[in-house]
Structure 1
Amino acid sequence: MSSIINKNDSQSDITNQKEKHHCHRHYTIQFIADWKQKYRALVSSGLFCPIIGLLINVILLGLSGFMAGSNPENTQIFILAQITLMLTAVALVAILLYRIQHKLMLPLSHLKSWSKEMRIGNLSARIPVPSSGDFASLANDINALGKDLMNLSREMDERVAQQTERIGQKNRSLEILYDVAASINISRDLDDLLVRFLRIMNDVVNAKAATLRLVTDDEQMRLVASVGLSDEVVEQEKLISLKRCLCGKAITEGELLSQENIKECNLHAGHRFFEDDNIEMIAIPLQYRGETLGVYNLFVEKPGLVNREDIKNLLISIGRHMGMAIEKSRLDAKAKQSSIIQERNLLSSELHDSLAQTLASLRFQVANLDDSITGGDEQAAEREVAQLENGLNEAYTELRELIAHFRAPFDERGLAQSIAKSVDRFRKETGIFIFFQNEWDQDELPSTLEMQVLRIAQESLNNIRKHSKAHAVRILLRCNKKGRHLLMIEDDGVGMGKPALNERPGEHIGLSIMKERAQRLGGELLIESEAGEGTRITLTFNTPETSQRNILDLI
């Protein structure tokens, strides 16, 4: 084992010695190469020969002095030789100084001047290149570096100028988009908006005229706004075919298109738009969510405007903004119309469920009064007259409330008390036994919901009074803590063979209105009736926080 270890140690020593030898050899080669390079640099600089000459001259002076001391008889000869050597040394020193000045100091001075010029921003400064030597190569390298710096600086300036111009164009585009958005907000109506928009676009591109057309349902293009066109041209261009000229093509393809002149437009229209036909026409589609609503046209005297990518993108972007504004205006008009229809329906429902019911009750009381008068029952007639008077007062009050507030009188104590009030009135007017089972745990519902529930209860009682011939009525009003609500009204009258929810307007319009009110509550109205078995009306709904109904749990 020890022999193996000794063998490994000896091999390791041999390896280390080889590595050391290799390192020494590498350093030696590198040292010789460095000295060769320095030698070549010294020789090429022109200083080597004078320095060697001075060294030789100094050596010769020393030898001549030593020889003169050893041979006194030849002293004059040695003195003359020393004078000659000294003169030669002076000449060599002069040559050395001259070459130091021109080969070393002057290039350094040029380098210093160059660096000063570069510091003050003169990137065109260059160093004079010597005819030979290492300084010639250095000067060429420095001059090449200066040239690269100048080119880089020029390129950076050009890029900065381009970016500045691009930012300026972006700012201008943003200003234009802001003007368009502002015109959308301040315009009185769609016509005013479109005229403002065309004026803005005229100013942006210095257009001679501008038009805007919208697509109709019968594949026509209707001229809705124009700037810069004569009244005669506007009148003739009010409605044109979608398949005609560039405008229809832009709408069909959904892309920005242009043509160099308007000769084709004049040919299709049968009249001239302008005195000069050499006017470029640009057609930009008005789009919203992938649908093309129309097109706006710009008539410009300078061609090639759409060749600029920024202008092209701006026109397309503005077209989309205007498409959104036009669609919004259309939706607002539809919403307004829908709101008017809804208000009319609500008014109709309120009239039916309030004043109409009161008038129906008065008609019923008038019939009772006629029977009392015919039968000679004066006391009954007086009671009927008193009820008629109360009914007229209630009708008048309801009418005034509808006019002033567009809602029926509602008890401030809540839904349960309002239904109880209606129950008392029903009992007094009809004499029918009615039981109100109040299990209402809800403190308060939104007034809009309470009104819908009250109206359904009132309409149900009104139908019982007019049609059911019932002897007893039960009303159940229930609400639990989970927000589930139930209104159930049932009677023991003659019933109905088939609920008339979907019949045309007539005597059963109240059932349709009840169903609509249930839908407004987000609830469900169920009518159960058979001939001779009475009728049950069940309304179930949830408060806004709940979303599911469960009739079985409620009942």
Structure 2
Amino acid sequence: MGSGMDLAGRRKDGTEFPLEAGLSFIPVGNDLLVMGSITDITRRKQTEEILERRVEERTREIERRREVADGLRDILAVLNSNQSLDAILNHIAGQACRLLHADASAICRMGDEPGPPIVQASYGLPAHAGEGADALTLLAGFDMTGGPLPAGGEATTSGPQVIQHADSVRISSALHKPAKADPQPLLVEMSYNAVLTVPLGIKDEAYGSLMLYYREPRRFSAEEIELAYTVGDQTALAIENARLRTQVERTAVAAERSRIARDLHDSVTQTLFSASIIAEVLPRLWQRNPQEAERRLDELRQLTRGALAEMRTLLLELRPATLIEVELGELLRQLTEAIMGRARMPITLEVEGNTLLPPDVKVAFYHIAQEALNNVAKHARATQAWLRIVRNGDGAELTVRDDGRGFVLDKVTPEHLGLSIMHERAEAIGAQLQVESHLGGGTEVTIRWPAG
């Protein structure tokens, strides 16, 4: 049985070293023998220190990777949000600083005209370092290789570009003919001594650069450059997504305008054409057959009222905010008047209870009623239709019914008659859409909100 103590020994030269002193007690007859030992444990202590350092380094590495994963996950969450491109890029610029421990950052894009890139988003830069700030944008797109450019060397933007110290390099413009320029005044003016920039490309086209600024000179590890590339890829993805959203919106606007133009031609134009013909023959008809003239006069009145209602409906399509502002009962009244004027068919509207509904529910109800009534006017060959909206407590139910020729539901594809669109609108608000139809027995479309 023994015990040991960690002590410090001193060599002849005065240096200290770790040692372990141990005592062992051995009974010998009636006596107790004590044995002592002193062991130099320098190597063991060095091994322990190495292991402790490795554990600390591994812990820091794990924490660093967790920080990077959280930061990239945060960027992805912003990419999937509905924020504007400027807000997303400013957020990425801030995250880039935190992930790469930079003092400031900028996202630059190439201008439409020849010249220096333009700062599109930034974080931590001085207030005057905004769009067109030459002291910052002149560095974007330059060949920053960490040393003087060779004579006549071409600038490049295909890889990471580094200024490790503001006094150590000269740069050449990637936009013009190679020309020596000293970046030191540009960097020192902003109190930055190191810059890391990675190119941003979208669909194999150069877009600009992600730039990271540091106040202290530093060397960038391969891991830091790789992380900068990852953030650059996220930046390019945000820009590409914004472009795609803009294209989709433009396409949707163009499609909506085409639809409204078709509706204008199919409804208002034809209604007004019919009204103009009746107005032309009405004076002569009045002289020959006053009773028929009165009937035609009443028809003319209905046509003009229908055309006016149709115009109001189209104006609602052009100004979607109005759909939210106007009460649903009034919207349905205008809609029925428009369809009656177009189809020359009576439509009975019944409104029961308070029709104040949440905006998204009201818009969905209106568009489903519009789609159903358009089907009645175009396909049903009905002599009459009914539109009924009932508010029941916290819910509502809308029914569109006609006495037309009907159809076999199983033989109609979801895309036909706008059935898929109506179902999508109902699902979007948590409502249930039911369509019933029989040959020769008319059609009934019912939407219940909430579903169940």
Which one of 294, 297, 307 corresponds to residue 382 of structure 1? 294
Seen in structure 2, the aligned counterparts of structure 1 residues 162 and 278 have a Cα distance that, compared at 3 Å, is: closer
Summarize the alignment of residues 469-488 of structure 1 with structure 2, pairs less than 5 Å apart: 479-484=407-412
Seen in structure 2, the aligned counterparts of structure 1 residues 393 and 295 have a Cα distance that, compared at 3 Å, is: same
Q: Secondary structure at the match of 1:299?
A: strand
Matching residue of 1:353: 266
Q: Does 1:391 align with 2:287?
A: no
Q: Residue 194 of structure 1 contacts residue 225 of structure 1 at CA under 8 Å; is this kept in 2?
A: yes
Seen in structure 2, the aligned counterparts of structure 1 residues 170 and 193 have a Cα distance that, compared at 3 Å, is: same
Seen in structure 2, the aligned counterparts of structure 1 residues 170 and 232 have a Cα distance that, compared at 3 Å, is: closer
Matching residue of 1:325: 238
- Measured in 1, the distance between the counterparts of 2:237 and 2:108 equals 15
Cα deviation, residue 164, structure 1: 1.2
Cα deviation, residue 162, structure 1: 1.4
Amino acid at match of 1:387: E
Q: Secondary structure at the match of 2:216?
A: coil
Q: Residue 284 of structure 1 contacts residue 315 of structure 1 at CA under 8 Å; is this kept in 2?
A: yes
The percentage of counterpart residues that share the same residue type is 17
Q: Secondary structure at the match of 1:313?
A: helix
Q: Does 1:409 align with 2:321?
A: no
Matching residue of 2:285: 372
Q: Residue 283 of structure 1 contacts residue 298 of structure 1 at CA under 8 Å; is this kept in 2?
A: yes
Q: Residue 283 of structure 1 contacts residue 296 of structure 1 at CA under 8 Å; is this kept in 2?
A: yes
Q: How many residues align?
A: 325
- Measured in 1, the distance between the counterparts of 2:50 and 2:193 equals 38
Which one of 209, 213, 234 corresponds to residue 299 of structure 1? 213
Q: Residue 191 of structure 1 contacts residue 224 of structure 1 at CA under 8 Å; is this kept in 2?
A: yes
Q: Residue 118 of structure 2 contacts residue 132 of structure 2 at CA under 8 Å; is this kept in 1?
A: no
Q: Secondary structure at the match of 1:211?
A: strand
CA deviation digits over 1:116-139, x for unaligned, max 9?
879xxxx952679xxxxxxxxxx9
Q: Does 1:190 align with 2:85?
A: yes
Higher relative contact order (CA 8 A, sep 6+): 2
Cα deviation, residue 385, structure 1: 1.6
Seen in structure 2, the aligned counterparts of structure 1 residues 358 and 518 have a Cα distance that, compared at 3 Å, is: farther
- Measured in 2, the distance between the counterparts of 1:162 and 1:209 equals 27
Q: Residue 478 of structure 1 contacts residue 485 of structure 1 at CA under 8 Å; is this kept in 2?
A: no
- Measured in 2, the distance between the counterparts of 1:238 and 1:358 equals 63
Q: Secondary structure at the match of 1:352?
A: helix
Seen in structure 2, the aligned counterparts of structure 1 residues 330 and 360 have a Cα distance that, compared at 3 Å, is: same
In terms of mean alpha carbon deviation, does 164-173 or 201-210 score higher?
201-210
Seen in structure 2, the aligned counterparts of structure 1 residues 327 and 202 have a Cα distance that, compared at 3 Å, is: same
Seen in structure 2, the aligned counterparts of structure 1 residues 173 and 363 have a Cα distance that, compared at 3 Å, is: same
Seen in structure 2, the aligned counterparts of structure 1 residues 229 and 282 have a Cα distance that, compared at 3 Å, is: farther
Seen in structure 2, the aligned counterparts of structure 1 residues 316 and 249 have a Cα distance that, compared at 3 Å, is: farther
Seen in structure 2, the aligned counterparts of structure 1 residues 521 and 269 have a Cα distance that, compared at 3 Å, is: farther
Cα deviation, residue 157, structure 1: 1.8
Q: Does 1:165 align with 2:60?
A: yes
- Measured in 1, the distance between the counterparts of 2:142 and 2:269 equals 58
- Measured in 2, the distance between the counterparts of 1:366 and 1:264 equals 80
- Measured in 1, the distance between the counterparts of 2:261 and 2:380 equals 15
Q: Which has the larger radius of gyration?
A: 1
Seen in structure 2, the aligned counterparts of structure 1 residues 344 and 206 have a Cα distance that, compared at 3 Å, is: same
- Measured in 2, the distance between the counterparts of 1:424 and 1:191 equals 52
Which one of 250, 253, 257 corresponds to residue 161 of structure 2? 257
RMSD over aligned Cα, in angstroms?
5.4
Cα deviation, residue 167, structure 1: 1.9
CA deviation digits over 1:234-277, x for unaligned, max 9?
355898899754599665x2x32213446426966799524469
Q: Residue 102 of structure 2 contacts residue 212 of structure 2 at CA under 8 Å; is this kept in 1?
A: yes
Seen in structure 2, the aligned counterparts of structure 1 residues 201 and 188 have a Cα distance that, compared at 3 Å, is: same
Amino acid at match of 1:160: V
Cα deviation, residue 172, structure 1: 3.5
Cα deviation, residue 147, structure 1: 7.5
Seen in structure 2, the aligned counterparts of structure 1 residues 176 and 232 have a Cα distance that, compared at 3 Å, is: closer
Which one of 228, 233, 238 corresponds to residue 126 of structure 2? 228
Q: Residue 335 of structure 2 contacts residue 370 of structure 2 at CA under 8 Å; is this kept in 1?
A: no
Cα deviation, residue 213, structure 1: 1.6
| Alignment TM-score, normalising by the size of structure 2 | 0.53
Seen in structure 2, the aligned counterparts of structure 1 residues 184 and 243 have a Cα distance that, compared at 3 Å, is: closer
Seen in structure 2, the aligned counterparts of structure 1 residues 175 and 485 have a Cα distance that, compared at 3 Å, is: closer
Matching residue of 1:340: 253
Cα deviation, residue 362, structure 1: 0.9
Q: Residue 124 of structure 1 contacts residue 150 of structure 1 at CA under 8 Å; is this kept in 2?
A: no
Q: Residue 288 of structure 1 contacts residue 323 of structure 1 at CA under 8 Å; is this kept in 2?
A: yes
Q: Residue 353 of structure 1 contacts residue 455 of structure 1 at CA under 8 Å; is this kept in 2?
A: no
CA deviation digits over 1:323-374, x for unaligned, max 9?
222222222233333333333233323333333332222112113314425x
Cα deviation, residue 379, structure 1: 3.3
Q: Residue 375 of structure 2 contacts residue 417 of structure 2 at CA under 8 Å; is this kept in 1?
A: no
Amino acid at match of 2:268: L
CA deviation digits over 1:370-412, x for unaligned, max 9?
4425x6443333232222122223334444445465887359x
| Alignment TM-score, normalising by the size of structure 1 | 0.45
- Measured in 1, the distance between the counterparts of 2:6 and 2:135 equals 70
Q: Secondary structure at the match of 1:355?
A: helix
Q: Residue 452 of structure 1 contacts residue 521 of structure 1 at CA under 8 Å; is this kept in 2?
A: no
Seen in structure 2, the aligned counterparts of structure 1 residues 125 and 519 have a Cα distance that, compared at 3 Å, is: farther
Q: Secondary structure at the match of 2:335?
A: coil
Q: Secondary structure at the match of 1:264?
A: coil
Q: Residue 214 of structure 1 contacts residue 222 of structure 1 at CA under 8 Å; is this kept in 2?
A: yes
Question: Which is helix-richer, 1 or 2?
Answer: 1
- Measured in 2, the distance between the counterparts of 1:364 and 1:180 equals 63
Q: Residue 368 of structure 1 contacts residue 384 of structure 1 at CA under 8 Å; is this kept in 2?
A: no
CA deviation digits over 1:285-343, x for unaligned, max 9?
33568776431112323333422x44333322222222222222222233333333333
- Measured in 1, the distance between the counterparts of 2:373 and 2:139 equals 53
Q: Residue 284 of structure 1 contacts residue 297 of structure 1 at CA under 8 Å; is this kept in 2?
A: yes
CA deviation digits over 1:69-114, x for unaligned, max 9?
xxxxxxxxxxxxxxxxxxxxxxxxxxxxxxxxxxxxxxxx7xx235
Amino acid at match of 1:422: A
CA deviation digits over 1:432-480, x for unaligned, max 9?
xxxxxxxxxxxxxx65764564465599xxxxxxxxxxxxxxxx95633
Amino acid at match of 2:217: P
- Measured in 1, the distance between the counterparts of 2:224 and 2:170 equals 24
Seen in structure 2, the aligned counterparts of structure 1 residues 361 and 306 have a Cα distance that, compared at 3 Å, is: same
Task: Please list every run of 5 or more consecutive structure 1 residues that lacks an aligned counterpart in the other structure.
Answer: 1-108, 129-138, 412-417, 426-445, 460-475, 487-516, 523-555
Amino acid at match of 1:285: P
Amino acid at match of 2:61: R
